[in-house]
Amino acid sequence: MAESGERVTVDFRTEPSRYKHWRLAFDGRVATLSMDVREDGGLAPGYELKLNSYDLGVDIELYDAIQRLRLEHPEVGAVILASAKERVFCAGANIRMLGRASHGFKVNFCKFTNETRNAMEEASAESGQSWVCMVNGPCAGGGYELALACRHIVMADDGNTSVALPEVPLLAVLPGTGGLTRLTDKRKVRRDRADYFCTLEEGVKGKRAVEWNLVDEVVPRTKLDETTKRRASELAAKTDRPAGARGVALTPLERRVEGDRIAYRWVTCAIDRGRGVAEITVAAPGAPPPADPAGVQAQGVAFWPLAVARELDDLILHLRVNEEAIGLWVLKTTGSADLVEAYDRLLEQHAGHWLVREIRLYLKRTLKRLDVTSRSLFALIEPGSCFAGTLLELALACDRSYMLDGTREGDDAPAATLRLTPMNFGAYPMPNGLSRLDSRFLAEPGRVDDLKGRLGQDLDAAAASEAGLVTFTPDDIDWDDEVRIAIEERAAFSPDALTGMEASLRFGGPETLETKIFARLSAWQNWIFQRPNAVGDKGALHVYGTGQRAEFDRRRV
């Protein structure tokens, strides 16, 4: 994790009994998630999490709580995000943690926190589980970004409570990993007001915060709790989530690590450190799906699409944070395309059921996490593969794909095929709001409609190439050499150049709040975090709290 300390292996698996920093409470249709950060509960030694400031460990618990609220508690229609500390909401990301963390860790930290806030926003927009923030004291930096991720913000109107994005004046960095974008694109704060606000250390209070649309309402401190609960109850009354339904318990996720092999039930990963490659294989289900949502409920976390979403989600996070030098992920599948299509049929036919909806949204979030990962992504489509429907999205998410044309000599496995299902046509939009097929064919939108005529067909290499679904289709004679050369060439390029190239190429078409956030994270936040003005010996992050003034190189770049 840190430049000045021992590297910490981060585990993203947790559950409420292990939380150090959050409290969950339930009152009918409304849940309250209270932030009560333990000062000595940091992910690594060397800093204290004062004033509800947070590190990655705090956000890992928050993400886990979000998942549980959505899947385990169908009765909850609104969530109050609050602070358990008196007259303090959240001071944001812990500055001493940022000051000592490696550059790569800082960027991954910012990426994960934004994905977590995206999940909060998605819950309000698509799950019928609206988030309401109760600001009871100073709310700064990443703390205000937490509030911004909520649907409604209620703030105490007193001399103590304010909202602020003070990174520019205090730290020589900026809230560009979400704060600035949510300020202008989501809350539509006027540019001149936003400019002033982002250079103001002390932030904005009271009626001005409402007038500038920084918060939705301010109330006397004596009415803060009552007003917030009323707003949450009003939103919860509008939900379509079933009050009497039973949720799915997210039991501990089993993962085995044996040397350079990571194995779950359906997802495995083999790491080749010499080549810098992670080979990720996702297996198709081994049995037909249940007949209806009641069967999905009965299977719980064993239901194949939910299990794959959880496993792939955990693996992506593990590799991103703990395996920085593994720069190329090679995606494979194995198993029956017929069974994958059968599960897709269930997901499509019962899309309105609350649990099926949540599983589809979980898959969407996981695939989006793949989209914004700073790793090269290749798909290898070989005999025995089952890139069909939901699993075809893995290949469509890749920077390029190789499909073997025909069979292998001496192998009885039939030639590889691809299969489209209705789930490829909008169920899992990318951060740009388009399906991966729409993004693929920006210049030829009619091709997507044409492909709907090929639903359920097994497309061999020639047909898949003609349809534009794969990049290259070498035969058995050329396959090994062509794939080997492609992997070796990728490893020879600058990882920095590849990160910039991939982030630029993956999101053609319309720009959205999400694409802005992650593009800026890959570009200017990535750059600013390495500049001496922020992280040099006399940079603002290093001298913060010492009484010394930062010394800046005054040249604009």
Domains of the chain, each with CATH number or no CATH? 16-236 (3.90.226.10), 258-505 (3.90.226.10)
Q: Are 34 and 83 in contact (CB under 8 A)?
A: yes
Report which of 361, 541, 397 is spatially closest to residue 469, judged by C-alpha positions: 397
Q: Could you tell me the two tokens for 154?
A: 């209620």
If 0-12 CB within 10 Å is exposed, 13-18 middle and 19+ buried, where does residue 241 land? buried
Per-residue pLDDT of the chain (557 residues), as tens digits, is 545 445 689 999 999 999 999 999 999 999 999 999 999 999 999 899 999 999 999 999 999 999 999 999 999 999 999 999 999 999 999 999 988 888 888 889 999 999 999 999 999 999 999 999 999 999 999 999 999 999 999 999 998 999 999 999 988 887 766 899 999 999 999 999 999 999 999 999 999 999 999 999 999 999 999 999 999 999 999 999 999 999 999 999 999 999 999 999 999 999 999 999 999 999 999 999 999 999 999 999 999 999 999 999 999 999 999 999 999 999 999 999 999 999 999 999 999 999 999 999 999 999 999 999 999 999 999 999 999 999 999 999 999 999 999 999 988 899 999 999 999 999 999 999 999 999 999 999 899 999 999 999 999 999 999 999 999 999 999 999 999 999 999 999 999 889 889 988 998 899 999 998 888 777 766 778 788 888 888 988 888 888 899 898 888 87
Return the residue matching tokens 């991939």: 502
198, 173 contact by CB (below 8 A): no
Query: What does pTM read for this prediction?
Result: 0.95
Number of neighbouring beta carbons within 10 Å of residue 516: 19
The whole-angstrom separation of Cα 379 and Cα 399 is 8
pLDDT for 500 equals 85
Identify which of 96, 102, 99, 107 has the alpha carbon closest to the alpha carbon of residue 47: 96
- Enclosing H/E stretch for 376: strand 376-381
Closest CA to 532 of 524, 522, 542, 523: 542
Q: How far apart are CA 170 and CA 545, in angstroms?
A: 10
What confidence score (pLDDT) does residue 98 get? 86
Give start and end residues of each alpha helix (H) in 214-262.
224-236
Neighbours of 7 (CB within 10 A): 12
If you search the block for the tokens 């920084």, which residue do you land on? 214
CA 162 to chain centre: 28
Residue-level pLDDT at 103:
84
- Nearest 10 degrees: CA dihedral of 225, 228, 65, 186? -140
* pLDDT on residue 474: 98
